[in-house]
Amino acid sequence: MTDITAQMDAVPGIDPRAPLLDVRDLRVEFRTREGVARAVNGVTLRLHPGETLAVLGESGCGKSVTAQAIMGILDTPPAHVTGGQVLYRGVDLLRLPENDRRKVRANRIAMIFQDALSALNPVYTVGFQLGELFRVHRGMSRGDAKRRAVELLDQVRIPDAKRRVNDYPHEFSGGMRQRVMIAMALALDPEVLIADEPTTALDVTVQAQIMGLLAELQRERNMGLMLITHDMGVVADVADRIAVMYAGQVVEEAPVYDIYARPAHAYTKALLESIPRLDLKGRQLNVIRGLPPALTDIPRGCAFHPRCAYAREICGIEPPPAYQIAPQRIASCHFVREVLGV
């Protein structure tokens, strides 16, 4: 099997010593009748094997678009990648011919979506949809593919996998369906797993189980996990590093402990203060005033300045540079010192 694998998903130019995933200055815009919406404006991210990077932000900040641009599954039109690089082991996926890029998907970089019910095809059994991966990418027969599908369902702890492999997506509960999604993403042993809000659609109790399963599978396989979420609670439990996004940019990046203890960007700080906390019960919650900007009309200077408590004149004129404030910490804010309180 290894021979076939090597043949079928060979991507030219792979350098095993290069970083696993290195996104540099990625830019995506949506060209619609109403105007151009700049969804991603120069995102830079790096992901290492065995590491969990959480990408945190409000809906509309461009985090899902970033993920889909990395996967290469944006709808074009209206979406257009206008700049930057997505380097996987040193190969720029954006420059790769579509035929080669297709081999990267699911084989090297796989993705889990938010709502498993709509993300799975309603008219095919989960066995078919899992087995399809082995048939298309590994050239397996229907029977072999089905056997592998049962193994996978077993691995994600779906009880009675042998029977359930013939069920349709709507016959599973929400949590079980998300396990099927996970099984599908892990089928071809990818090195990078992108999980786009994997637990948002689930009950709180099930959320914990799914996150636990993801963390465990990640450890077993030493995968790089890019976890996209707007839930700061989820992040604190599983992430190693956090990238906070606002209006299509990464505004702060830091190890998880640091960001909770000492946020360096005004936006991160405001986000943390807007979380209801039991120990501060009775006090008024700090809510970020205003709304995220329309992506057709992003404010000049620092995109956050109209809502920022620290904003001064310069924030509306100059985009803030990315300050390296510690070995692993970057923040794009004119008033990093004031926010950090030093």
Partner 1 sequence: MSDLNAVTTAEAPATDAGKPRGLAGDAWLDLRSRKVFWIAAALVVVVLLMAAWPSLFTSADPGDCLLARKNAGASGGAIFGYDFQGCDVYAKTVYGARDSVVVAIAATLIAGVIGLFVGLAAGYAGGWIDALLSRFIDVMLGVPFLLGAIVLAKRLSSDPESNGVVAVILTLGVLGWTAAARVMRSAVISAKNQDYVAAARMLGAGPGRLMFRHILPNSISPFIVVLTILLGVNIAGEATLSYLGVGLKGDAVSWGLAIAETGPYARTAAAPLVWPSVFLAATVLAFIMLGDAVRDAFDPKLR
Partner 2 sequence: MFRYIVRRLLQMVLTFFGATFVVHALMFAYVDDPFQALVGDRPLTDSQRTALNARYHLDEGFFAQYWHYLKGLLTGDFGQSLTGRPIGDMLAQAWPVTIRLALLAIVIAAVIAIGAGVLSGIRRGGAFDTVTLVLTLIVLSMPIVVLAPLAQLIFGIQLGWFPPTAGRDANLYQLLLPALVLGSLVIATELRVTRTSVAENLRADYVRTARAKGLAPRRVIGVHVLRNSLIPVITLIGVDIGVLMSGAIVTEGVFNIPGVGFNLFRGVRTEDGPVVVGFVSILVIVFLVVNLIVDLLYAALDPRIRYE
Taking CB under 8 A as the criterion, which residues in 5-24 touch partner 2? none
d(CA 63, CA 171): 31
Contact 226, 143 (CB under 8 A): no
Least spacing, CB of residue 126 vs partner 2, in Å:
11
Asked if residue 59 binds partner 1 (CB under 8 A), the reply is yes
Least spacing, CB of residue 200 vs partner 1, in Å:
9
Other Cβ atoms less than 10 A from the Cβ of 44: the count is 17
Report how far apart the first and last C-alpha atoms of the chain are (Å, whole number).
58
Asked if residue 42 binds partner 1 (CB under 8 A), the reply is no
Range in contact with partner 2 (rule: CB under 8 A) among 119-127, 265-273, 287-295, 314-322: 119-127
Exactly one of 61, 184, 193, 333 binds partner 2 (CB under 8 A); that residue is 184
Q: Which of the listed partners (partner 2, partner 1, none) does 60 bind, with a CB threshold of 5 to 8 Å by partner kind?
A: partner 1
d(CA 214, CA 193): 10
Q: Which helix (H) or strand (E) holds 179?
A: helix 174-186
Tell me how many degrees the CA angle 162-164-167 measures, rounded to the nearest 5: 135
Our CB check for partner 2 shows the closer of 193 and 303 to be 193
Q: Which of 7, 3, 4, 9 is nearest to 141 (CA)?
A: 4
Asked if residue 72 binds partner 1 (CB under 8 A), the reply is no
Exactly one of 76, 121, 173, 274 binds partner 2 (CB under 8 A); that residue is 121
The identity of residue 317, as a single letter, is I
Least spacing, CB of residue 185 vs partner 2, in Å:
8
Q: Which of the listed partners (partner 1, partner 2, none) does 22 bind, with a CB threshold of 5 to 8 Å by partner kind?
A: none
Sign of CA dihedral 64, 67, 69, 74: negative
Q: What is the DSSP track for 5-60?
A: HHHHT--TT--TTS-SEEEEEEEEEEEETTEEEEEEEEEEEEE-TT-EEEEE--TT
Range in contact with partner 2 (rule: CB under 8 A) among 18-26, 101-109, 147-155, 255-263: 101-109
Taking CB under 8 A as the criterion, which residues in 251-290 touch partner 2? none
Asked if residue 65 binds partner 1 (CB under 8 A), the reply is yes
Asked if residue 66 binds partner 2 (CB under 8 A), the reply is no
**Interface with partner 2 (CB under 8 A):** 68, 71, 73, 75, 102-107, 110-111, 113, 115, 118-124, 132-133, 136-137, 168, 170-171, 184
